């Protein structure tokens, strides 16, 4: 192994935490002083995202089951070598959907959904989907186009931007933590790695700094390695201190790897670790064989433990600043194999948390209108979800996301109900929309300067944007929503000073 390879291996190596029996966000510093948060929830500067990878490619059709579809049962039961369908009588019905329901193993997720804490985003994909596990995962973690090989992650670029390119000071909490056996570019910035990688029980060989041969760059290489080691050891001290402050878990997690990760993340959060991002790699969703047994077990394992994680955060009061997002690199094909399914395209994504606008986004893929490869057609680009999280959860200016963090502009989905702004509108600015829900009219309480130009836009769950007629009144804007179909919208108010976001719910007249 040459020196460059050695450095790469050290950078990607995980550091063990001795004595921790389970596997696992720094206060958000605004990247520019003009940022304003209007009508945002408490602790808005200490928000956390937990990304949970469902490695292998989750079968969306057997997750959100089209139980009213004759085509589904024809393909997956009647003409299949083995019954690969989910019986309609076992499906958990979903409010808001007349013909789709949760897999029977998803009762913990259904419980959270009934409380308005789960956004179900249907038909998620991207152009020219790549069905290789490793390339597909790289695309999801980098947010790149399928044709672009990006060696940084969207979360790493976010940390690089929000922290001005600086790494955590010695002794500080890590900006991000990554856990699992399959690691990637998720937390790599353009110029530096921003994640502390953590695997329980791994050898601590990374603490040994190699001695080089005296060539011109050996001193620099040794210094860089020493810096990596110091930061790694510093992170261990900080993590262990947080774990010591939250020694136990209160929920009945099981003994699976994902449970171990979530238990440790919960202890880190409840112990006061100011880490902003957690990326957890786990799962066995590559169900080419024995899918009915394996998929049922995996869904139960993942979402029962996510349910316990959510409940534990609710007990500690940390739930209002944590969002959980399970993702998988692709879906599965409609036609089954002998006892499983092959790699496919569109699948649902869930965004889970107490501050999430729960409900259904997008429409389920058609089983009769397939693409040229007989795969499901996707409707919502996964980067619309990322952009919504960046803008509405982490309160990053969409222009900065478009310029620095994502390959281009992606329409947002109204995933969060709290308003946020990216520039100061005015000192008395508010953005409370009322009544909510509305039918033909509603108002936004915001004081605009006399004659100030403004524009109001509403974006639906499919990413389509509509201009809304509005009239400025004293301390409010009156909106005419009569042309909008019933549904949930992301409302954007633009002025010469900046913009604010809010959610808009329109009901049938």
Give 264-276 as a 3 state SS string: HHHHHHHCCCCCC
Average pLDDT of the segment spanning 112-127: 95
For the structural domain made of 423-506, what CATH number should be given?
2.60.40.10
What token pair was written down for 55?
């490695």
Average pLDDT of the segment spanning 178-186: 79
Tell me the pLDDT tens digit for each residue of 382-425.
Answer: 999 999 999 889 989 888 998 899 999 998 888 986 433 333 33
For the structural domain made of 3-405, what CATH number should be given?
3.40.720
Q: State the Cα–Cα distance between residues 88 and 103, nearest whole angstrom.
A: 10
Instruction: Give the domain ranges of the chain.
Output: 3-405, 423-506
Tell me the pLDDT tens digit for each residue of 26-55.
Answer: 222 222 222 222 233 333 458 999 999 999
Residue 156, pLDDT > 70, answer yes
Quickly count: other Cβ atoms within 10 Å of residue 170's Cβ: 12
DSSP 168-198: PPTTSPPSEEEESS---STTB-SSSB-EEEE
Q: State the Cα–Cα distance between residues 155 and 387, nearest whole angstrom.
A: 11
Residue closest to 474 by CA, chosen among 406, 428, 418: 428
> Which pLDDT band holds residue 261 (cuts at 50, 70, 90)?
very high
The answer to whether 102 touches 109, Cβ cutoff 8 Å, is: yes
What is the model's pLDDT at position 375? Answer: 97
What is the model's pLDDT at position 231? Answer: 60
DSSP 324-393: EEEE-S--EEEEE-SSSEEE-S-EEEEEESTTB--EEES-PPPSSS--TTS-PPP-EEHHHHHHHIIIII
More confident residue, 297 or 207: 297
Average pLDDT of the segment spanning 150-157: 94
Q: Is the backbone peptide bond immediately before 437 cis, with ω within 30 degrees of 0? A: yes
| Least confident piece of the model among 44-48, 184-188, 249-253, 438-442 | 44-48
What is the model's pLDDT at position 86? Answer: 98
More confident residue, 200 or 280: 280
More confident residue, 300 or 184: 300
What is the model's pLDDT at position 461? Answer: 67
> Which pLDDT band holds residue 432 (cuts at 50, 70, 90)?
low
Q: What's 413-443 look like in SS3?
A: CCCECCCEECCCCCCCCCCEEECCCECCEEE
| Least confident piece of the model among 34-43, 345-354, 394-403, 462-471 | 34-43
Place of tokens 């922290």: 163
What is the model's pLDDT at position 236? Answer: 83
What token pair was written down for 419?
């308003």
Residue 207, pLDDT > 60, answer no
Residue 433, pLDDT > 80, answer no
Average pLDDT of the segment spanning 269-293: 95
DSSP 450-475: TT--EEEEEE-TTS-EEE--EEEETT
Average pLDDT of the segment spanning 12-33: 30
Q: Which residues contact 88 (CB under 8 A, 6 or more apart)?
A: 65, 67, 68
More confident residue, 303 or 392: 303
Q: State the Cα–Cα distance between residues 37 and 422, nearest whole angstrom.
A: 7
More confident residue, 171 or 149: 149
More confident residue, 296 or 434: 296
Query: Residue 359 forms beta bridges with which residues?
Result: 119
What token pair was written down for 368?
């009769």
Arithmetic mean of pLDDT over the chain: 81
Average pLDDT of the segment spanning 152-174: 86
Q: What phi-psi label fits residue 76: left (phi over 0), alpha (psi between -120 and 50 degrees) or beta? A: alpha
Q: Which residues of 349-362 are buried (b: 16+ CB within 10 A; e: fewer)?
A: bbbbbbbbbbbbbb
Q: 212-219 contacts: CB < 8 A, separation 24 or more?
A: 212/3
Q: State the Cα–Cα distance between residues 351 and 326, nearest whole angstrom.
A: 7
Residue 429, pLDDT > 70, answer no
More confident residue, 462 or 166: 166
């Amino acid at each position: 192994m040459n020196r460059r390879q050695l450095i790469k291996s050290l950078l990607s190596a995980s550091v063990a935490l001795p004595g921790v029996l389970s596997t696992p966000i720094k206060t958000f510093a605004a990247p520019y002083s003009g940022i304003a948060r209007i009508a945002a929830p408490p602790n808005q500067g200490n928000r956390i995202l937990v990304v949970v990878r469902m490695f292998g490619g989750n079968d969306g059709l057997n997750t959100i089951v089209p139980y009213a579809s004759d085509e589904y049962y024809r393909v997956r039961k009647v003409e299949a070598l083995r019954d690969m369908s989910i019986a309609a009588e076992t499906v958990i019905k979903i409010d808001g959907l007349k013909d789709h329901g949760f897999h029977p193993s998803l009762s913990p997720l259904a419980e959270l959904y009934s409380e308005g804490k789960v956004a179900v985003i249907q038909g998620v994909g991207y152009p020219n989907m790549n069905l290789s596990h490793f390339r597909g995962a790289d695309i999801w973690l980098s947010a790149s186009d399928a044709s672009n090989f990006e060696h940084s992650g969207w979360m790493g670029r976010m940390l690089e931007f929000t922290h001005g390119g600086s790494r955590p000071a010695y002794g500080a909490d890590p900006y991000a933590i990554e856990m699992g056996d399959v690691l990637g570019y998720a937390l790599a910035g353009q110029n530096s790695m921003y994640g502390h990688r953590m695997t329980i029980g791994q050898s601590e060989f990374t603490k040994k700094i190699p001695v080089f041969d005296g060539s011109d760059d050996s001193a620099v290489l040794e210094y860089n390695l020493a810096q990596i080691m110091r930061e790694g050891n510093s992170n261990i001290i900080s993590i262990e201190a947080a774990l010591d402050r939250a020694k136990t878990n209160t929920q009945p997690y099981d003994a699976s790897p994902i449970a171990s990760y979530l238990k440790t993340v919960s202890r880190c959060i409840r112990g006061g670790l100011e880490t902003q991002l957690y990326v957890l790699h786990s799962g066995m969703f590559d169900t080419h064989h024995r899918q009915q047994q394996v998929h049922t077990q995996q869904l139960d394992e993942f979402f029962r433990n996510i349910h316990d994680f959510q409940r534990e955060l609710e007990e500690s009061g940390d739930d209002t600043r944590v969002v959980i997002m399970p993702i998988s690199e692709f879906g599965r094909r409609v036609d089954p194999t002998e006892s499983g399914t092959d790699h496919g395209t569109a699948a649902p994504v869930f965004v889970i948390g107490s501050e999430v606008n729960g409900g259904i986004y997008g429409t389920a893929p058609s089983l009769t209108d397939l693409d040229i490869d007989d795969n499901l057609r996707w409707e919502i680009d996964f980067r619309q979800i990322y952009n919504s999280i960046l803008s509405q959860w982490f309160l990053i200016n969409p222009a900065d996301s478009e310029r620095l963090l994502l390959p281009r502009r992606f329409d947002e989905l109204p995933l969060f109900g709290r308003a946020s702004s990216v520039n100061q509108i005015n000192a008395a600015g508010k953005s409370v929309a009322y009544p909510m829900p509305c039918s033909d009219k509603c108002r936004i309480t915001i004081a605009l300067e006399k004659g100030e130009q403004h524009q109001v836009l509403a974006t639906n769950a499919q990413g389509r944007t509509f201009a809304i007629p509005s009239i400025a009144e004293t301390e409010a804007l009156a909106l005419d929503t009569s042309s909008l179909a019933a549904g949930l919208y992301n409302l954007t108010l633009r002025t010469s000073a900046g913009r604010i976001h809010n959610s808009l719910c329109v009901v049938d007249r």
